[in-house]
A and B are shown apart, each in its own frame.
Chain A
């Protein structure tokens, strides 16, 4: 089996995913795995109504994904979307190891975050989670869009180290806030 794409993006399904990634990986199903959306019928309906033509949107909670991800058959290109690193870390503990690896695609600036890459902002807690996940064999890589630079494990570890070094020297990254 193969999943077309597994992506961490706090916007979940949006233009970059539906138009930037979807066609290239032959996406047929966008699977939003998120407890908040799963519990909110209005938000769920908003995502379902906006499914790109020729595709459909499914919404699962994380427990269901943890139990069922192995059954997702590659015959139908499935794109799994996760909101953040905490969600990914919880899944990883249950044995989640998608063969496609996991794409880090978008975490926006908010109070308490620092810039790892222009499209990735993490808190202190999240950078610790990321450092652990990079050693877990999940196959994490950062890439905003196809055709844009891809950062694999070693590059991300170097960026994390540089970011931590910058913080120790009293700098605060981009300083951007929500």
Chain B
């Protein structure tokens, strides 16, 4: 796999989460090309599927970020991989994961990009405090 400068991403989430994550990432990294968001709000599975298919019809590799594995967004993306095997489904999106993807796409091979966003997403989750005496 080779770097692909324009590898696209779609954030498929509940409510306005995808829109806000993307807006926040752009506030940090600047405007981003090839990124979009789709909300499941008020949409049936079929409607969500149709909207995503429109963004995938070029057959190029693309990352679908979803917020919740086991939700309707994750389910639709899992179904869509059957028709679009070049899709990477990345579940449990958080800001570190998205920033890592945006920063490294086009600079590293796709396999490495996948490993990086997974690692950074996980590594961004920490808890501090409550070490000695957890408050009751």
Contacts and interface: CB of A to CB of B under 8 A. Distances in A.
A105 interface: no
Interface stretch (B19-27, B74-82, B122-130): B74-82
A18 B68 CA distance: 11
B125 to A, nearest CB: 16
B38 to A, nearest CB: 14
Contact of B47 (A43, A46, A50, A178): A178
B78 A108 contact: no
Contacts of B14: 15
B43 A46 contact: no
Contact of A50 (B43, B50, B74): B74
Contacts of B69: 49-50
Contact of B71 (A14, A42, A49, A176): A14
A47 B75 contact: yes
Contacts of B5: none
B72 A15 contact: yes
A113 B106 CA distance: 45
Contact of B44 (A10, A15, A18, A46): A10
Interface in B38-55: 42-47, 50
A176 B42 CA distance: 9
Contact of A108 (B43, B68, B70): B43
A73 interface: no
B122 to A, nearest CB: 17
Interface in A142-172: none
A43 B71 CA distance: 14
Contacts of A15: 14, 68, 70-72
Interface of B: 14, 42-47, 50, 68-72, 74-75, 78-79, 82
10 contacts: A15-B72, A42-B79, A47-B75, A49-B78, A108-B47, A109-B44, A110-B44, A110-B47, A176-B42, A178-B44
Given A47-B75, A50-B70, 16 more contacts: A10-B44, A10-B45, A11-B45, A14-B72, A14-B75, A18-B70, A18-B71, A42-B79, A42-B82, A46-B78, A50-B69, A50-B78, A108-B43, A108-B47, A109-B44, A110-B47
